Structure 1
Amino acid sequence: MSREVARAAAQWLALLESGAATERDHAALQHWRDSHPQHEHTWQKAQSLRRRFSDLPQALAMASLDRPQPGRRAVLKRALGVAALLPAAWLISRQLPVDTWRADLHTATGERKRLPLADGASLQLNTATAADVDVAQRRIRLVDGELALNVPGMAPMTLQTRYGELLVSQAEVCVRQLAAGCRVSVLKGAVQVRDLNGKSTTLQAGRQAPLKASGLGSSAPFDVLQLGWRDGVLSAQNQTLGDFLRELERYRPGVLRWEPGLETLRVTGSFRLDDTDRILSLLASTLGLEVQARTRYWVSLRKKLA
């Protein structure tokens, strides 16, 4: 189960439990469930957990959504300490698979890290990312999320994903692992990509390609603005507001919602990721929007009434 799908299921369940769901929300949930078999499978698991923990606070039940299902005593022991202190939406936004918890390196939602490696190489982790690092074998495994790897020297490093692996030498690459594949972007040099079938392809600087279970897809030029997160910046150039907000969601804990009518508004600018509340305020002031915050972890955008 991918983290993104688990998080989405948790948010849908939280919305239904809040009692604030509209007919449009119910229709959108059904569309989400029907759009991919994994969505429906995860939703059924969420419903099963909801019934199993019906006598527990919702935050405790949701804390186990993306974990193996041991006994109730074990779930309580893990979840009680934080659930009593933090809002349920905060917990929901950070549901991670067990292998993510066990990773050597990880970042929370909204956190980014830069780490030096051997021989002048460096590794950057984006928001909600986990990775294992084997220094002796010069191997990195992307467990979940997005990372950038820069290897300036000749000695190669291997970057392993769920859908294949990359051999990086005198090159810089960014990889984002998604529910159905990876997005591989080569910033400089050339990277050898080997898919799950053993087929190798070289991806050149300035090119981007999807890496899936079926292999590496066709490459295309990519917009370097996509990788502004490495400098703590989220940039947009005449981007639809809907797409911009979906990207911004990755850096905010909790739930961010907006009226469907806002989807096609256009955004241009560069925004510092260190303060996503300020990003929402800037969007509201420039686009004539109203920010409604039930809590820090449940925020909605709507068109400002005249």
Structure 2
Amino acid sequence: MRTEPMGRRSGPSQQVVKQAINWVLRLRNHATHPTLHQQCEAWRATHPEHELAWQRVQSLHSELTSNLRAVPGAHIALETLENSARRLNRRQALKLLSGVALLGSAAWLGKDLGWQPWSADFATTIGERRGFQLPDGTRLELNTQSAADLDYTARQRLINLARGEIMVTCGRDPERPLLVRSRQGLFEGIEGRFVVRQDSDCTRLSVSSGRVVIRSHADSNGDPLQVNAGQSYLITSSTATVAPPLDMDAGAWADGLIVTRNMRLEDFLNEVGRYRRGYLNCAESIADLRLSGVFRLQDTDKLLAVLPRTLAVQIRYRTRWWVTVERPA
């Protein structure tokens, strides 16, 4: 894929967004047409703005579909819209879907909405995990409820983590270093894979392969700190220190898993709660129970149903969105 300098701007132009919607419509109506897929790939590779518009349109479609399907009876409206779009000719369908996708386009493209899944370059909703191939070949994975922006120029490649957690797989480029910025620090990836997680009061950096240099953290004038494969650091507003041993695999979420090692039940439920809506907690009397294992994130209700098989607990549903783990009656 061609890599051109991509300076920071409000977002792709409306014309480019309409082109992206056009490609989505054509591919949906001719899903098995190999030449069309190749032509779309070529269009996306022509300029980083094309790829950004494509990703935003795809993300917006996923967000709208996900939210609407959570509303009783909304699937009927979605099916009606889909069927209507198929009956329209391409020009009419483009006009219809452009009106939806570009609703409040000045706010969406100008990043003034304030609703991060729409205003960020790349974003996920609760329970969603997505991967993106960036213009330079870097692989960016977003965990649940995460948001990140790109700022690529001729001198640097910068990923701004606004919220949540990302996994970055990058190659070495002495001419344009790959940087990741969180609220607490700036990190440079040196040909490897690493995870950056933005918590409320700190950033956790975990390196799987290669190495990462902590270039700066807030209120720090110290020398850059190198983090090697297998190491994790906690970066606060004033310090960067080696993290305590992890009780779960830092990057397993990219494979749709939570892998625990003697993890407290309360901490485990807090982690699972990131992938589902509503309230999830446990009684204080069992909060310190420990569990180890591999748990699939695809269906968190099925995941919770596994707990009574390994621990002396029961799952209580007050509603679909209010769940507690308790001692057996």
TM-score, normalized by the shorter chain, greater than 0.5: yes
Deviation for aligned residue 1:103: 1.5
Is 2:162 aligned against 1:143?
yes
CA distance in 2, matches of 1:259, 1:287: 14
CA distance in 1, matches of 2:248, 2:129: 18
- For residue 247 of structure 1, the aligned residue among 268, 271, 285 is 271
- For residue 272 of structure 1, the aligned residue among 287, 296, 299 is 296
CA distance in 2, matches of 1:233, 1:225: 9
| Contact 1:195/1:216 (8 A) holds in 2 | yes
Change (3 A) 1:220 1:247: closer
| Contact 2:248/2:258 (8 A) holds in 1 | no
Please state whether the residue corresponding to 1:226 is helix, strand or coil: coil
Deviation for aligned residue 1:219: 5.5
Deviation for aligned residue 1:223: 6.3
Which residue in 1 is equivalent to 2:77? none
| Contact 2:257/2:297 (8 A) holds in 1 | yes
Where structure 2 has 5 or more consecutive residues not aligned to the other structure, the ranges are 1-66, 73-112
CA distance in 2, matches of 1:275, 1:224: 19
Say which one has the larger Rg: 2
Which residue in 1 is equivalent to 2:182? 161
RMSD: 2.4
Letter in 2 for 1:168: G
CA distance in 2, matches of 1:257, 1:217: 30
Which residue in 2 is equivalent to 1:24? none
Q: TM-score, normalised by structure 1?
A: 0.64
| Contact 1:206/1:221 (8 A) holds in 2 | no
Q: How high is the sequence identity, in percent, across the aligned residues?
A: 34
Deviation for aligned residue 1:241: 1.4
Which residue in 1 is equivalent to 2:151? 134
* Mapping of residues 77-116 of structure 1, within 5 Å: 85=71, 98=114, 100-101=116-117, 102-116=119-133
Please state whether the residue corresponding to 1:162 is helix, strand or coil: coil
CA distance in 1, matches of 2:152, 2:164: 20
| Contact 2:212/2:227 (8 A) holds in 1 | yes
Which residue in 1 is equivalent to 2:251? 227
| Contact 2:128/2:143 (8 A) holds in 1 | yes
| Contact 2:206/2:250 (8 A) holds in 1 | no
Where structure 1 has 5 or more consecutive residues not aligned to the other structure, the ranges are 1-80, 87-96
Which residue in 2 is equivalent to 1:195? 217
CA distance in 2, matches of 1:238, 1:173: 23
Runs of 4+ in 1 over 6 A off after TM superposition: none
Letter in 1 for 2:197: R
| Contact 1:207/1:222 (8 A) holds in 2 | no
| Contact 2:248/2:261 (8 A) holds in 1 | no
CA distance in 1, matches of 2:192, 2:130: 20
Deviation for aligned residue 1:290: 2.3
- For residue 181 of structure 1, the aligned residue among 202, 208, 228 is 202
Please state whether the residue corresponding to 2:128 is helix, strand or coil: coil
Structure 1 stretch 285-294 or stretch 125-134: which is displaced more? 285-294
Which residue in 2 is equivalent to 1:171? 192
CA distance in 2, matches of 1:164, 1:276: 32
Equivalent residue pairs, number: 214
- For residue 216 of structure 1, the aligned residue among 240, 244, 248 is 240
CA distance in 1, matches of 2:225, 2:246: 18
Change (3 A) 1:246 1:111: same
CA distance in 2, matches of 1:221, 1:304: 31
